[in-house]
Amino acid sequence: MNRVKLARSLSAIENGDMEVDDADGRIFAITGPPGVGKSCLIDSILHRLAPEFSVAVLAVDPTSPLSGGALLGDRIRLTVLDDKEKSDSIYFRSVATRSSIGSIPSVVKSLANFLVLEAFDLVIIETVGAGQSETRCAAVANRIIVVEGPARGDGIQAEKAGLLELADLIVVNKSDIDGAQRVVNDLKMSLSINQEPPPIITTSALTGDGINELVKMMLSLEERESSKRARCRQQLIMAHENTIVNNPNFEEVIDRISQEGLSIEEALRELID
């Protein structure tokens, strides 16, 4: 793996200097509310997959709307990168949301496709964990894993976000904490009306319980037919956003809206036409 060449190609894609065709490969979005242990869970998954499988991780980090900066610090939680034998088969890259309207920038789809074409066995996208906007992960991944935890609030956050409609697999993490089984029961009740509910498993990134089963399920996981329409909807919305954001006059139009009173309708006509 030539990491320098790979990094330069990904930067070119992010900057709009390189186009990528769709690729047929295993692209996972691991999503869920903040605090459920997504990063630690991904670390545990990588420990099991490497070095037998080559894995690329795209960690999405929110960009500040004020400063324009992003922390890009998710790799700090990945202990697997300290293992030389395993880290050689892992490629990690942080991705800022930049001008994206939601929690996942549209360029992530192109980045993931490129990594598949570069012969990575799996691509894992770790999302921001921003509640209802997480449905956007359907536009960039073909397998969606929703992570929940014992402290899931009022029990309807995933339902509100529409994530259960999109999930191919639901993982209740932190099973070593009281309340995990209650979450499993709540989810089963919520999903009981579905004709094709996704499977639910429990894991603990701390103790390692359920991680081997999770990895085994990931390697054989297929997209659910019932989620395809919802995914097409998200892809269409993201494509529309991409047209607007990638317009070379985008920032100028934003300035004119805020400073000169340009109407939203007029701005859309300029950016889309």
Residues 2-29, mean pLDDT to the nearest whole number:
92
The model's pLDDT over 116-134, given as tens digits with 9 standing for 90+, comes to 999 999 999 988 765 545 6
Q: Are 86 and 46 in contact (CB under 8 A)?
A: yes
Predicted confidence band of residue 149 (pLDDT cuts 50, 70, 90) = confident
Name the percent of the chain lying above pLDDT 70. 84
- Please say whether the beta carbons of 141 and 151 come within 8 A: no
Q: List beta partners, residue 231.
A: none
Domains for the chain: give ranges and CATH numbers. 3-226 (3.40.50.300)
pLDDT of the residue at 10:
95
Give the pLDDT score at 1: 73
How far is 29 from 63, CA to CA, in rounded Å?
Answer: 19
The whole-angstrom separation of Cα 273 and Cα 269 is: 6
More confident residue, 71 or 180: 180
**Residue-averaged pLDDT of the chain:** 83
pLDDT for 69 equals 39
Summarize pLDDT for 219-271 with one digit per residue, the tens.
Answer: 999 887 767 777 788 788 878 877 887 788 988 999 999 999 999 999 998 89
Q: State pLDDT tens for residues 157-201.
A: 555 456 777 889 999 999 999 888 888 888 888 787 777 788 999
Torsion angle, alpha carbons of 37, 81, 76, 152, to 10: 0
Say whether pTM exceeds 0.85: no
Most trustworthy range by pLDDT among 11-25, 58-72, 85-99 = 11-25
Buried-state track 13-39, b at ≥16 Cβ within 10 A, e below 16: bbeeeeebeebebbbbbbbbbeebbbb
**Half-sphere exposure of residue 173, counting CA atoms within 13 Å on the CB side?**
25
Residues with Cβ within 8 Å of 23's Cβ and at least 6 positions away in sequence, in order, are 112, 113, 114, 116, 117
Return the higher-pLDDT residue of 228 and 84. Answer: 84
Neighbours of 90 (CB within 10 A): 23
User: Which of 73-82, 99-108, 118-127, 211-220 shows the lowest per-residue confidence on average (mean pLDDT)?
Assistant: 99-108
Distance in angstroms (rounded) separating the CA atoms of residues 206 and 168: 24
